[in-house]
Structure 1
Amino acid sequence: MSCYIFGDIIINILDSKMADWNDENTRILCELCAEQVKANNRSGTHLNKIGYDNVMAKFTERTSISYDKLQIKNKWDKLRQDYTNWKVLLKETGLGWDNERKTVRASDAWWKKKTKEVKGITKFKDRGLQNEDLLAEMFEDIRNSGDDHWCPLSDVVPQSPAHEIHVFNQDEEDGGDKDDESAAEEVTPSCGQGKRRRVPEKDKGKKSKTTRGQWMEEQFYYIVSLNEKTSASCESMARREDTSGCAIKDVMALVKECGAKAGSKEHFIATQVFTKKAEREMFMTLDTLEERFEWLKMKYEWTTRNDIFK
């Protein structure tokens, strides 16, 4: 973790000296990136080679500033983190709303505590998220994709925290089109297998041929370690059922039953707030269909009045 933080700080320092991301340049970048996402030029969590090339060319055309691919990628990562933090902030309950600053209103003590929980969230203390509509186009469908959580029952191998250091991998960003004979063989551990692969005696003391080989070796050990810690809990989660009567499917059935038809504002607000178990439990405490429908109506009015969706 310390290496991740150190690497992130170094990259941020270097990037800040070379790139001027003022409000106008950031807005233009967001517009261009959102345009490429709509054009299906995003592979996984980042733009592909075509997307990056288009953004760089159009950004230079509109601003007369030429940034390279790494600078654009670093800014993409920062914007994605900002968008994620903003969504985390909006889920907080018991806070006020500052219409002038377009952000939540909370005490200094609350912000100080929250900073320890979510890195970088205090940037929203004095001003809300800028370009939220464009950032939603860029990141909303991958924000909760589960890329940072892995269950051994899944065939998808996660990225480790070390990968989040801004290491530029040309083949990865280009969609893996280039051949690399020196690339290490892919190894995927089986579910429940917690022992590390033994390194043959003849290989000890030998240096990896490429940086990529070293990276793959680190990822293998990280995945094995993660497997040891999560296999039991993931198996349990796979078998777990919501027996509280507050499952999303059950609650949404009651939403329709009380008169909130699909497409109505009452049905819409239900799809937003009932992702939280506490909200579903509160809804279930209401006795009649009329009370539930009125609650949904008031919830929608309160949410829009406080600019939660803006």
Structure 2
Amino acid sequence: MKPKSSLALLRAGLVIGTVLLASCQLFRKKPKPPPEPVKEEWKYPGEWSGGDKPITSIVINVDVQRATLYNGDEVVGWTYLASGIPSFPTPTGEFKILEKIKDKVSNLYGKGYNAKGDLVNSDFKQGRDLLPPGGKFVPAKMTYFMRLTGDGVGMHIGPIPRPGRRASHGCIRLPSKMAPILFTHTSIGTPVTITGNGPEYSTYLKQSAAKANANAAKYAAAKKKSDEAAAAAVALPPGDPNGPTPAGGSTPPAGTPAAGTPPTGTPPAATPPGTTTPPPGTPAPAAPPEEVKPAVPANPTPAPAPGTAQ
């Protein structure tokens, strides 16, 4: 009887172990599916099949850089896009279109030019970078802008150099052929869900605040350096007539003639009658040699009378 009892217990243990293992598999968190690979069809900017139907919701996956457009539960189109790079990520979560502006320009990003009109910074940001003296800021275009957050994240036309790769400063760049479709078929309040690898909006705001402080410090340092360089450029060396007054003396005002030079406007001295004035540039004649006379004795001897022997 004992062998049978042991066998029964072993079988019971195997059954219980199988049930427990199945329970663990059931309640264990499933891993996220891998990102959808970039398809060959993505060489095209997107597709629209909705006709006149409105877009009632948009789902964006930043891992595959693709947006799916819905009318209810029906897929009416898709488009590839370019979201924020890792250092300037696009926030994830649930959003709504808050504002629509067809012809918008950025008040932060653009290009910086010097006074000659040469491009000196193709990724210029206001409050972070400093323009050279006389330089100009040209803001980036954000045509067909659809705002998603109060701090400026939105969807708009923008360059997508490599479809399937992130490229922006946080906004969602759309192809020029698809952005007008989204702009036309959406409305204020259209929900937009952003999924994938990126910070939630609350985390994104904290990261943005830290970057703003770092940018302010960088700008202050650049401004101080520029001011010091400008001050050094106007400093004059000692002895320069426009420089500081030497100790113990005074610098004559500009235009004062040198010592011994008659003041400007003084008429020339009168020339004696009968004297010919040499033409300008003729060298002055040399002074005649001084006549040397023989010395006279202190006690002169009287000259002998004529005919007197000496």
TM tier, shorter chain? under 0.3
Greater strand share, structure number? 2
Q: Which has the larger radius of gyration?
A: 2
Greater helix share, structure number? 1
* Relative contact order, higher structure (CA 8 A, sep 6+): 2
